[in-house]
Each structure stands twice: as C-alpha cells, then as structure tokens.
Structure 1
Amino acid sequence: MARSPPRAGAGQSGIPADPRWRVDRVDHGEPAVLSLLAASVARVAAADAARVAVRSGPAEVTYGQLAELLSRAPAEDGVRAGPVVLPVTGAVADVTALLTHAVAARPVLVLDGAATAWERDRASALFDPPGPAVGLCTSGTTGLPTVVTADWPGLLANAREFAVAARVGDGDVVWCGTPLHHRYCFAAGLFGGLSVGATVVLTPGLGPADFVERLLTDRVTVLMSVPYLYSWYVEQLEREPDLPGRWSLRRCIAAGSPLAPDLAARWLRRAGLPLLSHYGSTEDGQITVGRGEPGEGVGRPLADREIRVGADGEVLVRRRGVHDGSGDAWRRTGDTGHVDAVDNLHLIGRLTERLNIAGRKVDPVEVEDVLIRHPAVADCVVAAAPGKVGDEVVAFVVIAGAATDTELRSYLAGLLSAYKLPRQVVRVPEVPRSRTGKVRRGALVAALLGAARGATPAQPASGNTPPPSC
C-alpha cells in the first residue's frame, strides 16, 4: 500500500508546530480494525435491531443501524487514507461520523467541538499515524497540549474490560456527563457501553441543569461523571430527597479527579448507592475501577492492565502481556500511590505537583486533605507562590463557617510538619476548576501575584470557564 509523504509539521494556516506540544504514541500496533465492536453490535442487532445504541437529545441511532454501518467494507484504492480532524460536541452525528471514518480506515483526530481553528491546526500537525488509529487530545498535568494516538483494537478491548469490571451490562442505560472528546466518555462511556449492549446517552456539555431530567426521562441505570459534578448532584438530592425513589440508577462512577471521602459519604447517604472511583488517563486508558468496598481507594486494575509502584512511589502501568520492544513497556503516570494487600490502588498525589519549599518537597494534596477536614472549610487548594526568600506554601480556602486565619494555621500546625504549613491563607469565593473538575492552581497564583503588584485584585476564573480545548 502506498504511503503518503510525511507532513510538514504545519497545519492549514501554515503556523509551524509549537515545540512545547508533544505527541505520545500509545498502544499502537497493527492497522486498526473494528472487529471487536462490530461483533458486539451485530450480536445485539440480531436480537433487537431497534434497540437504541446512542441517544443525544431527540436524536438517536439504533444497534441495527450501527451494525449496517460497521459492516461496510473500506475502499481498496491502494492509497493510504489521510487523517481526518473531527470536532465533536456529544451529538449522535459525531458518533456515526467517527465510525464512518474508522470503517474507511481513515485515522481520526477527535477534538473538542469548541476548539478554535488555531487549536485544531496545532493538534492536527502532531497527528499522522502510520495506519488507521484514533487521536485524542489532552492538556496534560503540565497544561501543555498532548496528542495521544491509540490503536482501535487496544482501545476497544480496554473499553470492554472497563464495562465488565464496572458491571455494566446488556440493557443498561449509560449516561456519561463529560465531554465526548475526553477518553473517559469516549472509551469507557461510549465504547464500553456499546461493547456490552447498553444504550449510551450523550449530552453536549457539562452541567447540573439537566441532571434530574436526564436521569428520569432516559431511565439512566449507570451514571458516569466527575467528582466536581457529583458535588452539584448531591446538592440536588438534598433538595429532592425523594429522587432516588423515582430513578432507575444502580451504579455510579466518578473519575477525572480525586474523590473526597466526604463527598462519597454524602452520596451514599443521599442516593443509597456507593460512588465508585475510576482511575485512568488519556495516555494509559482505563486502568482501575472500584467495587464499592470500604477503603478500596480507586480499586483494582482491569484485566488488561498491570500496575506497580516504583521506588519513588510513582505508579507505573502497562497493557497486560504487551511488549513494545523498548523493555517491559511500563509507562510512568506521574501519579504517586501504593497498592494494598488485595491489589487496590491508593493514589496520593502527583510527582509534578510537589512543591519545592527551601529544598524540601511538599505534596499539596497532603496539605489539602488535612485542611478540608476542618469543619469551616468548604473547599481548598494549596499551591506555591513567590515569597520574600523563595517559594512558600499558600492555602486558598472557601470558608463555609466561622474560622479565623490564625485558627486555621493552629489547626494545621497540630497535624503537619512546620515546612508544610501555609505562610498565607487566602480566602476565595470559589476554587477555579476545569470543566472536568481539575483544579486550576495557576489561576489562583496569578490572581494573588496580580494583587501583590498593586493591580486590581484578579478574581480567579470561574469553574464554568472552558479550559484549553485540548
């Protein structure tokens, strides 16, 4: 098969690729085929062709229609199909377009539908796989955009293993209330659900406004979301305590950021269902999922994933039984944690988020975990900011009760070493987060520095402000 010449590293606008952007080629093996998905869809279609496979608002596509789409043979013209950039918003048309391109053996780069032309150009310059594949974009922990290329067989097999481990099954109605261009929704939600015969409900954006309507109208049985949104959902439950008696939910899964024990306890108390933690990433796919057992952390690894913890506490992951010729193929996650006696993974924090305070490392998550336990603290985030003699620890807190800064410092001093204690306690109306609930520490520090320079104190961006599209 003829191969097209290498791309020049610039998109349609001619802007050269930014060297800060990087591309990770993950799980890329033989030319991708959709045989695993096609077989699952065909099985359901044979029994119930009219069953809804994907629904978004009034639009829907059935398993019979997907089976027909997936049965089409790719064109054999002897020329490699070029990459396609597919902006998605969570519409049914996004799913059918994606599968149409995949069946035609075209590599597909999936991006946020709100991405600008400039952002699309930057990402597409990094996407040129040697064969059919799917590309997903993530901002990464560093905030620098990363294009991750995954082969279809690996992604689909991993999605199915997630569905099996999360006990999602035939006839379930799965609502993943996160953006379709995120791997959590794209793989675990969409393709995990389709692999076991579920109906998948997609929504264009994040938000609690349609929480009750979606649950009741679509008779959702499996809810997949992020802790930030679950905190909104549980408030709705507190306003409507009879809601669990009207819904069909049987399983609830949280991913994307750490699940606070208090939120999990509130959800269990109000919903009557455990909130299961799921750990994964764009680079490494779905890695673990909880089973609803006490003290299980983020749960055990899926059947196709192996994890171990390195000497520095970093969590390493690889596809079970797969070697890429570069050693044993363990990938560094950047997360720290430990594995207990029954193989549950417990995450502690991020290596890259550790603060360097006078040469001593401080994990902000550790300080946050202590601070959030104070009854007057509703939310908090800890970061490093320039001080008189170098970086110092700063705590940004949302106060829900009566507590002075002195009281908070005294409370922390009784539990943490002196070098971990915040030198400043800054009260904020809210902690800015991305649309998936990840804390935007940089926005808080920038606002603090702006105020220190005598500028009009900058209010941290609202958590509803979209992050960079990748």
Structure 2
Amino acid sequence: MVTTSEIPAPADAVELLLERFSSVKANAAELLVDCHDSSSAAFVTVDDLEQRPVVVSYGELRDRSMRLAQLLTDMGVRRGDTVAVLMGKRVELPVALAAILRIGAVYLPLFTAFAAPAIESRLRAASARIVITEPSQAEKLDSIAGIETLVVGAEFDARVAAAQPLESAASVGGGGTILLLFTSGTTGAPKGVPVPLRALAAFACYMIYGLDVREDDVFWNAADPGWAYGLYYGILGPMAIGRPNILFNSGFSPETTVTVIRKLGVTNFAAAPTVYRALSAAPGIGGVSLRRASSAGEPLTPEIAEWAPSALGTEVRDHYGQTELGMVINNHWHDDLRLPAVNGSMGQPMPGFTCGIVGGQIAVDTAQSSLMWFTDYHKDARTAGSRFTADKRWYLTGDTGHVDAAGHFHFGGRDDDVIIMAGYRIGPLDVESVLITHPDVADVAVVGQPDELRGEVVAAFVVLKAGQVGTEELSGELQQLVKTQYAAHAYPRVVHFVDELPRTASGKVQRYLLKGRG
C-alpha cells in the first residue's frame, strides 16, 4: 500500500511509484482495492444533503466487486474485453470499475449528459457490448442494438449478492490497458485513449504533489468521473494512495457545493474552472475555510484569483494536463514543491515529467519523463504519430505557450486556435483574460475569423450578465479594454453578443464551432 506518509523526496517518490505500478506482474484490483485496510474508508457517498453521508469501506468495495466480477464473467466478459459504465457519482461506479479490472477487462466511462448517438459512437468504437448503468440512464441504451445492460437497483443488488466472489484477480502488468477514455473533442472528433495500469503511478504522483492530499484531509474532487480529471483524480488517484474521495450524486449548484464543503468539513477541494466561476458569481458565497483548492481543465481567469482567498480561505491553484497525459504541469501544493503562484501561469512540471516548448507548443520530453504513459490512440496510429516529433523525443500537446525566466509555464491556447493576424500570433486566452474583467461580461471566447487583408482577425463571442444588453457602445468599450490592457493590435475587430458559448460536456469551449459563425 502507498500512503502519503510513506512518500520520500520527489525523485525517490517517482521511483517508488513506478516500482509499484509498472511491474510486469502488476494487478490493478490488488493495487487499488485489496491492499488497503478493509476497515478504512474508500469513498464517502452523499445522495441527499438531508441524510447522513455513507462511508464505503475498502472491505465492502472488495466484496462487492468480487461478486460483480463473477457476474460479469458469467455473462461472458473475458480479459481484454471492454465494459462500459454509464452512471453518476454513486458507489456502484467504483464497484463496477474494480470488478472490471479484476477480470483484466477494460473500463469505458460514459458521461451521463451524453445523448444516445454519442453513447453509441463510443460503444461501437470500443467494441463494447455490456453497459452497467442506472435507471435514469437506461432508456438511452434501448435503441442501441447488440448491447446488454445491467441496471443498478434492487434486482442488480440481489444478483450481485447471490454471486460467488471471484477469488482470483487478473494481473495485466504495468503495460496492460485498464481504461479506454475518449477525449472531449475540443478540436474535432473524440479520440480513444488507452490508459495502461502504469499510468496509476503518474496519477498517484499528482495526488501527492499537485493536490497535496494528506491523511488528515477531507478530500473532494467534484469533477465528473465520466471525464479524465474526475476519473483519474476522483476515483483512481484516491484509490491508488488509499485516501477517500467524496461522491456527491446530485446536480451542481453553488449553494449545494458550499453546503457539502461545510457539512463534511472539506479541507482539500478540486474542480473545473466553471465551478469556481459559478461560485464567484453567486451572491453570498463565502466563509469557507479550505486548506487547498485546485483547478484544471481551462486556465483560470484573473477575477477568480482575486476572489478566492477571502471567499474560500485559500488561493485556487491552476494545473495543466490532458486526457493523454493526466496532469503534468502544476502550481504544486506540496510543501516540497510549492512556490508562489505567478499570475497567469500553470506552474512547473511535476516530478517524473520534463517539459519544454517545441515549435511554439508545450511539449513533454519522452526520454526524460519516466511517468509518461501515452503511446497511441485506439485504432488510430496515424493520428497518434502526429502528436510526436519525427524522432519520437517530444510529445506535442497541441497547446501553445511559453516559459518565463523563472521556469513557469504559461498557456497560450490550442495550437489550432492561435490567431495569426498580419504575421502576429495572438493567443485567445490573453484576449479573453482581459475581456472577462469588464463588469458586464459573464463569459467570453475568442477565435480567429478569415480576413482578406490580414489573413485572420480577432473575433470575440461575449455572453453578458443578466440584464445587460449588447450595444455598439459596449463593443467599443471591450475593444478599447483590450487595446489598453493587453495590446493595441490584438483587440477584437468583431464582437458578437451571444446567449451562451458552445462547450463540451466537460465544460471546455469548442472554439472550432465558433470560427464559422458570422
């Protein structure tokens, strides 16, 4: 078992984690469930704020997953098969994950906000024929031919309880695939990312050094486990280091989020930037005392940095990663690595990763990054090959950025999103970070649109706060704001006032959908 109290200096910690999770005999069920004290908490579930939270122990997780593994085996699931899970943050989700891994099968997460076509496309791409789901989601699967479902509930519980525990767990080794996770598709069609067991070493490293989850913390990663950040660091990461996470199975609102933090005494909180934006915009939200607060998914906007210390009791630290990498560059919280956060920076590389700038892109040095685990997309070697330099030395993230004199990395934007206007390279984030400071602006996205003279010009899509109206005068104010607060050449030549921005299900702006709008 790896616990935070056993972790030595960063360099030695990386070796310890690699030794544990990269062995040719590595067994995911053993490493995530069976090695932990059966009486210790694995997850804390909250379905109703009026009721007491339910603590799920590792012993319970082990027994239920062993029985579900046998049930899945009886249904014909074998090592290497893919089993999908479509459900919210309920205890059956980690039970299903552990059961699938016991067989040596592959876990395919499906986001509950997906409609049937999005679900079917992922099931077909992954060749999955069994889906474990919940009653509220089961109807989406009715029209998908060739799919067998297990729906959690009383009948499901009875079948699992009646099954004999599957005593032996498959060892797939550090290189064996345990997850197949599809990207969110910010710049095109989603791509399948096979995640090997050895990736758990990188996930555990982030839990320790990026988030600084300690044994006395009450940890809550509020991200959805249908996506990388919630699955990697709300389910797998906590299990890898034996620390419980809170599973709040209810819809998001700023008020309920603060209620959970207060009621359960949360000290270490992680969420997407959209959560912090919603919290900061809600009246009366504050008076919270967190020890650590972390954000990932998109860069934080300046007003969050100003709002957080008084409202949450701590600053919010920005972290950077991808589905293909996990988190790799962070404003680390751990005492051994914590530095003063630099405005607009995502921090410095995590132990086990060496990063740089190659061709204007943020890149990972594969030869010097022992925790690097991505090698290929699912059935798409050609696309994967384009993510690496010709000599395979560097993995190219597709995100532009730069490194300042102190070694802090700064995000510029998706390489596909960088605006080249009359030879100038303009990062959308730089312009967005200025526009969002206007008191009338609630949300904003910046893209490049074709221009006969300049090649491209900056176009801003602006969502206004309630009660505000888009006018030519306001457009002029926004343009002048960028001229004075960022750069005269980078102001938006066109300002579109819109009701909402197109986002992926995980909350990322789909700028490519905006580029074709007039």
TM over 0.5: yes
Cα deviation, 1:354-384, whole Å, max 9, x if unaligned, reads 1344665432222223333445545432223
Any conservation in 2 of the 1:173–1:222 contact (CA below 8 Å)?
yes
Deviations 1:216-239 (A, max 9, x none): 233222211111111222344x51
**In the alignment, which of 418, 426, 429 is matched to residue 365 of structure 1?**
429
Contact 1:169 1:196 in 2 (8 A): no
1:302 match: 350
Q: How far did 1:99 drift?
A: 0.8
How much has 1:240 moved relative to structure 2?
4.6
For 1:436 and 1:80, locate their aligned partners in 2 and report how far apart those are by CA, in whole Å: 30
User: How many corresponding residue pairs?
Assistant: 412
Q: Kindly provide the amino acid, as one letter, of the partner of residue 396 in structure 1.
A: F
Q: Is the 8 A contact 1:172 1:199 kept in 2?
A: no
Residue among 157, 166, 171 paired with 2:201: 157
Name the CA distance, whole Å, in 2 between partners of 1:163 and 1:143: 30
Mapping for residues 32-431 of structure 1, pairs under 5 Å: 33-35=26-28, 38-39=30-31, 41-42=33-34, 44-45=36-37, 49-57=39-47, 60-68=55-63, 80-127=79-126, 132-154=177-199, 156-165=200-209, 166-204=211-249, 205-236=251-282, 239-241=284-286, 243-244=287-288, 249-291=290-332, 293-295=340-342, 297-316=345-364, 318=366, 319-320=369-370, 327-340=391-404, 343-357=407-421, 361-374=425-438, 377-385=441-449, 391-399=456-464, 404-414=474-484, 419-431=489-501
CA contact (8 A) 1:252 1:274 kept: yes
- Give the percent of matched residue pairs that are identical in Structure 1 and Structure 2: 27
**Separation (CA, whole Å) in 1 of partners of 2:489 and 2:404:** 29
State the alpha-carbon separation in 1 of the partners of residues 23 and 392 from structure 2: 19
TM-aligned CA distance change 1:321 to 1:228, over 3 Å: closer
SS at match of 1:126: helix
User: Helix, strand or coil for the counterpart of 2:360?
Assistant: coil
CA drift of 1:281 comes to 1.0
Moved more, 385-394 or 403-412: 385-394
CA 1:416–1:115: 2 relative to 1, 3 Å? closer
Distance 1:171 1:195 in 2: 17
1:337 deviates by: 1.9
Report the RMSD for the aligned CA atoms in angstroms: 3.7
Shift of 1:41: 4.5
Deviations 1:286-318 (A, max 9, x none): 212213623172222222222121142433354
Contact 2:66/2:99 (8 A) holds in 1: no
Q: For the structure 1 residues 105 and 31, does the alpha-carbon distance in structure 2 shift closer, same or farther, using more than 3 Å as the test? A: farther
Q: Distance in 2 between matches of 1:51 and 1:410?
A: 54
Higher deviation after alignment, 194-203 or 335-344 = 335-344
Deviation digits for residues 165-201 of structure 1, max 9, x if unmatched?
0210224322222211111111122222223332211
Of stretches 400-409 and 54-63 in structure 1, the one that deviates more from structure 2 is 400-409
Instruction: After TM superposition, give the deviation of residue 420 of structure 1 in Å.
Output: 3.0
Letter in structure 1 aligned against 2:201? A
SS of the aligned residue for 1:383 comes to strand
| Contact 1:179–1:206, Cα closer than 8 Å, also in 2 | no
Distance, in Å, in 1 between the alignment partners of 2:488 and 2:264 is 52
| Structure 2 residue runs without a partner (length 5+) | 1-20, 48-52, 129-174, 334-339, 377-389
Alpha carbons of 1:83 and 1:268: their partners in 2 closer, same or farther (altered >3 Å)? same
Q: CA deviation at 1:105?
A: 0.6
Aligned counterparts of 1:344 and 1:416: Cα–Cα separation in 2 = 20
Cα deviation code 1:257-284 (max 9, x no counterpart): 1111221121112222111111111111
Amino acid at match of 2:352: D
In the TM superposition, what is the alpha-carbon distance from 1:81 to its structure 2 partner?
4.5
* Partner secondary structure for residue 303 of structure 1: coil
Q: Secondary structure at the match of 1:279?
A: strand
CA shift for structure 1 position 150: 0.7
Distance 1:101 1:43 in 2: 17
Q: Distance in 2 between matches of 1:32 and 1:139?
A: 32
Distance 1:372 1:113 in 2: 30
Label 1:286 to 1:228 Cα distance change in 2 as closer, same or farther (>3 A): same
Change (3 A) 1:377 1:216: closer
Using the alignment, how far apart are the partners of 1:405 and 1:118 within structure 2?
A: 39
**2-side partners of 1:144 and 1:320: how far apart?**
29
Instruction: Check whether the contact 2:449–2:459 (CA below 8 A) recurs between aligned residues.
Output: yes
**What 5-or-longer segments of structure 1 have no aligned partner?**
1-27, 450-470
CA contact (8 A) 2:305 2:316 kept: yes
Select between 92-101 and 118-127 the one with higher mean Cα deviation. 118-127
- Asked if the contact 2:461–2:496 (Cα under 8 Å) also holds between the matched residues in 1, the reply is yes
How much does 1:33 deviate?
4.1
**More off after superposition, 324-333 vs 378-387:** 324-333
Deviation at 1:52, TM superposition (A): 4.6
Distance 1:206 1:192 in 2: 22
Q: What's the secondary structure of 1:274's corresponding residue?
A: coil
